[in-house]
Chains A and B, each alone.
Chain A
Amino acid sequence: MIEDLFLIEKQTYRDSFIHRLDARVKIIISFAAIIAMVAVPYSTTVYSVGSLLIIFFLVLWVFSRLPPSVYIWRLVMVLPFGIFIIVAQIFFTNPHYAVFHPIVTLPLNIHIYAESIEFATILLVKFLVCISFIILLSSTTKMQDLLEGAGRLGFPPEFSLIMGLMIRYLFVFAYMYRKVTEALETRCFNPLSREIPWKYRIRMLGYTIGTMFVRAYEQGERTYYAMLCRGYDRDSRLFIRKKPLVPGDWCFLVCGMVVVVAAPILVWFDIIRLI
């Protein structure tokens, strides 16, 4: 999991038209797409809107010159969190339908309803669209740029500072984790090895996790002292330089917003219907 952090960072350092866009443009378009998708009422209209937005996402992904495997891998990593809630829906009724028709009856009087399956599918489409744009945003924008972009868009300075610290120490912690892992490997410790007793393995993993906690605590204390040395107080904020958008960014922002806004409107008025 920690290594994925470096993998994501590596993708953001690639070079493409999408990578070079200002972070604000990517944030606005991604969140506009998410809002557009979430705002569509629970009906089969979602399929068409979702399809249009996914096509838009795919076009952007192609322009970003990232391999499809990156998207698939990251989607697989995220899916379990949403898929559980989506799958659970098929066993329950919900307020979006008046009548429910059971298509499968399971023991303990559990039913799978046709309407609930439709509802779960709608949720899945919404979930996929939202996650896809988040994956695109985070795969083409460095975390530091995302924070600066959010700051320039009016993200509260208190949060920017905390998020900045989090980003910085996420990587410090990742390197610390890597060093601890290497230290264990150097001394031939493998937590999955059956050659050493499981109790010993559990105990050593416990020590390691404990050490990481203690180190994190000590790091926090030292960092706080260092912040105080540089005048940290409740009014402290992260320095974010003013940066105007270049014409290319404006152009992409306008075009992107037209697509995102037009997709639900065209489907809503039955001008386009893909599914």
Chain B
Amino acid sequence: MHLIETRDLTYVYPGGVTGLDGVNFIAPRNARIAVIGANGAGKSTLFKHFNGIMKPTSGQVLVHGEPITRANIREVRKMVGVVFQNADDQIFSPTVEQDVAFGPTNLGLDEETVQHRVQEALRMVGMEDRATRVPHHLSGGEKKRVAIAGIIAMEPQVLVLDEPTAGLDPQGVSDLVGFINSLSRTYGMTVIFSTHDVSLVPEIAEYVYVMGGGKIVARGNMSDIFEKDELLTSVRLDLPCIPKLIRSLWEHGIEIDMAYTQKDAESAFLRAFRGSG
């Protein structure tokens, strides 16, 4: 049984525009999944179906094998945490502490547990010293971390991040990559994220869905996706920096193994240059 599964999910906006068109998506336990696609591809619309914020026009969304209903919606939202693209949409309480406590309080937890979860969530995102700050005094990156802490405090099994690196500086992106990977590896959380930044995908994800025009146009691991130039061009995306560089070296006759992550690339380059030296 998969944590999240959609079957022929279709959503038509009230204006008649098709947001999703027969999407079949599977998120197994402890997976790290990237959903990539151009603007308007349907990524955010898909994510809003994962915890019942949007209701399908047709098709099904199954969480733990069960369709989302009014009876289980609370349980589903506890299980599937969605972090929105703009942190200002998500931080609605007057202080950081109160905002992170909003979800746990709604779960009916006692004050001591709420406080413990808030401290733990803020510690995980490195914001424990800013609990009493007001949100409008935080930087974009800090707001993003508070928004994530607000979801983590609910202890979801699946963390869904819509464009998590939008508006972050390079250090902020690097911190976020490390943090998301630790969530998956240390806490066994399933992570699903969308991004335009294709270079980020191999650093976090192990599986990729490519969306275009409200449909899933491709799915697979890194090599399945990033070896298809036509596919990437058709969805207005580019190859990540590392495989792009390696391909360029191939054209100059340098033999080097293909790599997608920085760590794999380092090994591949060392092997190639030590071998040639």
6 CB < 8 A contacts A-B: A219-B89, A228-B53, A229-B51, A233-B74, A236-B106, A238-B105
Q: Is the CB of A233 within 8 A of B92?
A: no
Which one of A143, A226, A237 lies within 8 Å of B92 (CB-CB)? A226
**Residue A222 interfacial (CB < 8 Å):** yes
Q: Is the CB of A172 within 8 A of B136?
A: yes
**Residue A111 interfacial (CB < 8 Å):** no
From 222 to 261 in chain A, residues with beta carbon under 8 angstroms from any chain B beta carbon are 222-223, 225-233, 235-242
Q: Give the shortest distance, in Å, between B97 (CB) and chain A (any CB).
A: 7
* B103: chain A residues within 8 A (beta carbon): 230-231
* A241: chain B residues within 8 A (beta carbon): 97, 111, 115
- Complex interface bits, A182-223 against B, C-beta within 8 A gives 1, otherwise 0: 000000000000000000000000000000000000010011
Q: Is the CB of B53 within 8 A of A171?
A: no
From 78 to 109 in chain B, residues with beta carbon under 8 angstroms from any chain A beta carbon are 78, 81-82, 84, 86, 88-95, 97-98, 101-107
* A239: chain B residues within 8 A (beta carbon): 93, 97-98, 101-102, 104-105, 114, 118
**Residue B214 interfacial (CB < 8 Å):** no
Q: Is the CB of B78 within 8 A of A164?
A: no
A223–B115 Cα distance when bound, in Å, is 24
Q: Is the CB of A144 within 8 A of B94?
A: yes
From 84 to 123 in chain A, residues with beta carbon under 8 angstroms from any chain B beta carbon are none
* A226: chain B residues within 8 A (beta carbon): 84, 89-90, 92
- A-side interface residues, number (CB < 8 Å): 33
- Complex interface bits, A148-180 against B, C-beta within 8 A gives 1, otherwise 0: 100000000000000011011101100100000
Q: Is the CB of B98 within 8 A of A232?
A: no
- B-side interface residues, number (CB < 8 Å): 37
Smallest CB gap from B85: residue in A: A222
A interface list, Cβ under 8 A from B: 142-144, 147-148, 164-165, 167-169, 171-172, 175, 219, 222-223, 225-233, 235-242
**Residue B151 interfacial (CB < 8 Å):** yes
Known: A147-B94, A167-B94, A239-B97. A222 touches B51 (CB 8 A): no
Smallest CB gap from A238: residue in B: B98
- Complex interface bits, B127-165 against A, C-beta within 8 A gives 1, otherwise 0: 000000011100000000000001100100000000000
Q: Is the CB of A168 within 8 A of B48?
A: no
Q: Give the shortest distance, in Å, between A4 (CB) and chain B (any CB).
A: 16
* A171: chain B residues within 8 A (beta carbon): 134-136
A241–B105 Cα distance when bound, in Å, is 11
**Residue B77 interfacial (CB < 8 Å):** yes
* B118: chain A residues within 8 A (beta carbon): 239
* A229: chain B residues within 8 A (beta carbon): 51, 53, 77, 81-82, 84, 90, 151
Q: Is the CB of A168 within 8 A of B91?
A: yes
Which one of B97, B114, B154 lies within 8 Å of A230 (CB-CB)? B154
Q: Is the CB of B150 within 8 A of A230?
A: yes
- Complex interface bits, B60-72 against A, C-beta within 8 A gives 1, otherwise 0: 0000000000000
Known: A172-B136, A225-B48, A239-B101. A233 touches B106 (CB 8 A): yes
A242–B115 Cα distance when bound, in Å, is 11
* A147: chain B residues within 8 A (beta carbon): 94
* B136: chain A residues within 8 A (beta carbon): 168, 171-172, 175
Q: Is the CB of A232 within 8 A of B106?
A: yes
Q: Give the shortest distance, in Å, between A220 (CB) and chain B (any CB).
A: 10
Q: Is the CB of B135 within 8 A of A168?
A: yes
Q: Give the shortest distance, in Å, between B127 (CB) and chain A (any CB).
A: 16
Complex A-B, nearest 4 residue pairs according to Cβ-Cβ distance, in ascending order:
A239-B101, A231-B106, A230-B103, A144-B94
Q: Is the CB of A238 within 8 A of B115?
A: no
* A219: chain B residues within 8 A (beta carbon): 88-89
* B102: chain A residues within 8 A (beta carbon): 227, 230, 232, 236, 238-239
Smallest CB gap from A166: residue in B: B94
Q: Is the CB of A222 within 8 A of B84?
A: yes
Please indicate which of the listed interface residues A175, A219, A226 has the most CB atoms of chain B within 10 Å of its own CB.
A226
Q: Give the shortest distance, in Å, between A136 (CB) and chain B (any CB).
A: 21
Known: A175-B136, A230-B77. A168 touches B106 (CB 8 A): no
Known: A172-B136, A230-B102. A143 touches B89 (CB 8 A): no
A172–B99 Cα distance when bound, in Å, is 15
Known: A142-B134, A168-B91, A222-B84. A231 touches B74 (CB 8 A): yes
Smallest CB gap from B51: residue in A: A229
Q: Is the CB of B94 within 8 A of A143?
A: yes
A161–B81 Cα distance when bound, in Å, is 21
Please indicate which of the listed interface residues B90, B92, B97, B115 has the most CB atoms of chain A within 10 Å of its own CB.
B92
